[in-house]
Amino acid sequence: MIQSERLTASIHRAIEQSERHGWISPLTDAGEGIPCITFRDYMDHCLYDETDGYYKSGKVRVGKDGDFYTSSQIGTLMGEKLASCIARLIEGEEQDVRLTIVEWGAGTGALSGQMLTEWLDSSLPWLARLRYVVVDSNPVHLKVARSRLEQVHERIGENGALDFMSPEDARSTLSDLRGKGEFTIVVANELLDAFPIHRVQQKHGRLWELGVTTAATVQNGEAFEYVLLPLTDAKISAVLERDGIQLREGQTTEINLAAEQWIAQMSELIADGALLLVDYGHEAAELTAPHRMHGTMLCYKDHVAYDRPFLAPGEQDITAHVNFTACRAAAEASGWHVHYYNTQKQFLIDHGLLGDLASHDGTNPFSEAARRNRAIRQLLLSDGMSESFKVLLLRK
């Protein structure tokens, strides 16, 4: 039995055992409804099932041979500028304080390698006090990251430390460090968009949550279908009210409670430090504007985007834009304060990217200067991507 078939069978069992019930058409369907799970739980199965989840098994998911790219795959520039930002934070701290930097959701270690190389090339004095932790839930990613960072590990030497951990081990490590005078920075590049989301829809004059049930017949390879059920968490309506969101009739949007909970959890684990978030998303008003009647949920496989989450469970990424209005509110409510917030494009400009454009004779398009200039243009101009991505730096 292949991965998606095993996971499909597992999700079917979860639906059969669920105490939740939903309706395909709440106004006309009679009775208590049909068994279902929330879309949030369906997405959690698809991405994080311990045996067959997308991020827990299978091949490398990011980069040329994966299903999607991150900004760290577009040259080394983003890594260099994030490294510069972090160095500024550290330079403002006491010179003898121990340092821990954690990249959470580090994938195959591309960004970690870029930042560590930038610091090593600059011979920064605090590297001797640094413990750097690479965190990812995918064992294959961690294995590739170990190999990728082997030479960097050797350059760090005996004084510094480079560790590789699962999220569970990283939480335990941060908990042990809290209150011991450590300055801790957590970096999360395109992490929040990977958390399971609740999907909600305004229909028949009220707000419903989207659930998932077993389809009566398998159509186009999809063994599941949507149902509507009452909201399963009071926080959903509270978030909508807090963020000033009023959905239109027929409109669907996403609520990422897990992202808010993770930000709050980082605050609990970090007594003194920073949280640096990079992700694609917008303000709440933009995410629920009239042109976004169907939300922002998308699936990715082999670098193709589409909106069929019930296709091949466990073999495709499922994601949605991050609500940065909600992220800032959750951060401030849990003890963080916003140190910086802007588009990725402006962040790069603020950290000197335009000054990195190099003059060259133009005769060799494959020269280092030409390649670097193309990477700069791609980061700043590519399909508005750098405007959709945001950088949020939180301090405490």
Q: Is 135:102 a contact under the CB 8 Å cutoff? A: yes
Residue 216, domain extent: 1-338
Residue 388 domain-assigned (yes or no): no
Residue 364 has pLDDT above 80, yes or no: no
The whole-model pTM stands at 0.91
How do 183-189 and 161-165 pair as beta strands? unpaired
In-domain check, residue 306: yes
Lowest-confidence segment of 78-87, 155-164, 239-248, 321-330 by average pLDDT:
155-164
pLDDT, tens digit, 9 for 90 and up, residues 189-207: 999 999 999 999 999 999 9
Query: How many separate domains does the chain show?
Result: 1
Q: Return the ∠ at Cα 208 (arms to 226 and 262), rounded to 5°.
A: 90
Mean pLDDT of 237-244: 97
Q: Which DSSP string do the residues of 373-385 spell out, in sequence order? A: HHHHHHHHHGGGH
> Domain for residue 89, yes or no?
yes
What pLDDT score was predicted for residue 385? 64
392: in domain: no
Is 153 a domain residue? yes
Residue type, 60: V
Q: Please calculate the CA angle 300-388-382 and round it to the nearest 5 degrees.
A: 80
Q: Is residue 386 part of a domain?
A: no
Round to whole Å and give the CA distance between 332 and 326.
10
Unique residue bearing structure tokens 């700043």: 380
Q: What is the band of 65 on the pLDDT scale with cuts at 50, 70, 90? A: low
- Asked whether the beta carbons of 152 and 117 are under 8 A apart, the reply is yes
Distance of CA 177 to the CA centre of its chain: 24
Mean pLDDT for all residues in the chain? 90
In a domain, 346, yes or no: no
Contact 194, 55 (CB under 8 A): yes
Compare 309 and 368 and report the one with higher pLDDT: 309
Q: What is the pLDDT of residue 64?
A: 57
Q: Is residue 257 part of a domain?
A: yes
Which of these ranges, 2-6, 39-43, 323-327, 369-373, has the smallest mean pLDDT? 369-373
pLDDT band of residue 259 (cuts 50, 70, 90) is very high
What pLDDT is attached to residue 69? Answer: 56
Better pLDDT: 314 or 58: 314
Question: 349 in the Ramachandran plot: left (φ > 0), alpha (ψ -120 to 50) or beta?
Answer: alpha
Give the CA-trace dihedral at 86, 88, 91, 93, to 10 degrees. -70
Can you give the pLDDT at residue 62?
62
Q: Give the CATH number for residue 144.
A: 3.40.50.12710
How far apart (Å, rounded) are the C-alpha atoms in residues 10 and 4? 10
Q: Are 191 and 279 in contact (CB under 8 A)?
A: yes
Cα 171 from Cα 244, distance rounded (Å): 33
Query: How far is Cα 102 from Cα 276, in angstroms, rounded to an integer?
Result: 10
